[in-house]
Amino acid sequence: MNPGFDLVVAGAGVMGLACALEEARRGAKVGVFDPGLTEAQASGAAAGILVTRDAHAFASPFREFYVRSIRAYPEWLAGVSAAAGAQVPLHREGDYLVFDLDDRAGRERLEAKSRQLERERSLAFTVTDTLPPLLRGHCALENVKVFHFPEEAYVQNRELISALRSACGKAGVVFRHCHPERAWEYASGRTLLAFPEGSWEARKVLIAAGAWSLRLLESLGVSAPIIPVKGQMMRIPKFHGSQSMIHFNDALYLVPRGDSLVVGATTEPGTWSEGFDGAGEAFIASQLRRFLPEVSRQPLEAWSGLRPRTRDRLPWMGWLDLDRGWAICTGHYKCGISMAPLAAQCMVRLLHGEKPGFDLAPFQPWRKQGLTRTPRAEASAVLPEASPD
């Protein structure tokens, strides 16, 4: 029997590790379990894009939380790097948004983006009718509108996961590469989690396991309308000398990673299948053929991940069961890496009975369209796609 933990976190993606590190910094004894550990789903498969579009007015609490968290990244990332003893750079290299004016979808997305920038009082960008130098000679588009956001940034997500795990280890966090063998048991102010290698006792438990939170919640008799959304992407050889990101029609992105570019991604709701497949290859190849016909489409690497999307597209952050000390922080969809700094701070404050620093009421897990204690209904509704940026 383990002598006991102050907090056990389910999930070793960026969100779970960020929460574990935040708690461990307070001197708490923390455990993390995840059968995949650093081979996390949405975290490991992401491109690490951190874009705010220079927003200064917000139409929703979600958007405000998202932007505030990204703006906390420089200080937070410096802290993670120092704790890990390994530098994780924040690449503030800018982003080009290229819209195809000969394409109806491109024009519609341009109009939507223009309205968003006006609504959010964005200023730090320029607009031109010509391709940027890094795309000339490569891009097939002629009639374009190009937005350039010079302050946008990205982080290498795999480096971030590695640094977070190292920082957690140095802070005394204990890891288990498995799930509990059976449903948790609660008695006398402690939760018992039985693992093949021995049991853990915890004063508090935080579920931050992304799409796989569904299985944990179901084992506790909680219905969770999580929709897994598969994203497939690949790396191709880099064809330009810039470190800037590129978005085409706000649908296809290219993000530098060393001497290659991460290209993606598909959006496939409702599937639990893993791995890169023919659908992913066909989608990315068709997009590259359309926008960059002369660029090599031969993948250097290809992979996929499952993003956790809730029915109303808002994350669940709050108490699952206050009396038992069970909390949840999941459902961030494509925004987990972006929202991790502020989410970790808010959740750990909540666990300690402090004011979170941001009103979490809109993300309350038991809200309408949130968690229920009834048998799970199949999540059949597919909502229109929306981007936080």
Kindly give the confidence (pLDDT) of every residue in the chain, 389 residues in length, as a single tens digit, with 9 standing for 90 and above.
445 999 999 999 999 999 999 999 999 999 999 987 545 567 777 899 999 999 999 999 999 999 999 999 999 999 999 999 999 999 999 999 999 999 999 999 999 999 999 999 999 999 999 999 999 999 999 999 999 999 999 999 999 999 999 999 999 999 999 888 888 899 999 999 999 989 999 999 999 999 889 889 988 899 999 999 999 999 999 999 999 999 999 889 999 999 999 999 899 999 888 899 999 999 999 999 999 999 988 899 999 999 999 999 999 999 999 999 999 999 999 999 999 999 999 999 999 999 999 999 999 999 999 999 865 333 333 333 334 45
Pair type for strands 226-237 and 126-128: unpaired
**Are 56 and 357 in contact, with CB atoms under 8 Å apart?**
no
Neighbours of 302 (CB within 10 A): 18
| CB neighbour class for 72 (10 Å; exposed up to 12, middle 13-18, buried from 19) | middle
From the list 265, 239, 236, 240, the residue with the least C-alpha distance to 253 is 265
Phi, psi at 54, each rounded to 5°: 50, 40
> Can you give the pLDDT at residue 374?
62
Q: What pLDDT does 45 receive?
A: 77
What was the pLDDT predicted at 382?
34
Distances (CA, A) of 267 to 37, 55, 208, 280: 24, 25, 22, 9
What's the Cα-to-Cα distance from 188 to each of 3, 200, 324, 325, rounded to whole Å? 15, 14, 9, 12
How do strand 174-176 and strand 30-33 relate by DSSP bridges? parallel
Nearest to 283 by CA among 261, 309, 252, 307: 252
Question: Among the CATH numbers 3.90.1010.10, 3.30.70.3040, 3.50.50.60, 3.30.70.980, which is that of 5-87+157-226+311-363?
Answer: 3.50.50.60
Residue 357: which region, alpha, beta or left (left: phi > 0; alpha: psi -120 to 50)? left
Whole-angstrom CA distances from 307 to 14, 97, 227, 239, 267 are 13, 24, 8, 29, 9
3-state helix, strand, coil in the chain (%, to 5): 30, 25, 45
* Predicted local distance difference test score (pLDDT) of residue 260: 97
Sketch the domain layout of the chain as residue ranges. Answer: 5-87+157-226+311-363, 95-152+227-309
Of the candidates 300, 54, 74, 326, the one whose C-alpha atom is nearest the C-alpha of residue 191 is: 326
The CATH class of the 95-152+227-309 domain is alpha beta
Closest CA to 234 of 45, 9, 42, 5: 45
Among 317, 235, 261, CA closest to 93: 261
pLDDT, residue 241, reads 95
Whole-angstrom distance, CA of residue 330 vs CA of residue 224 = 11
List the one residue out of 231, 232, 214 whose CA is nearest residue 223.
Answer: 214
pTM: predicted TM-score of the whole model, two decimal places: 0.92
Distance, in Å, from the CA atom of 73 to the CA atom of 315, rounded to the nearest integer, reads: 19
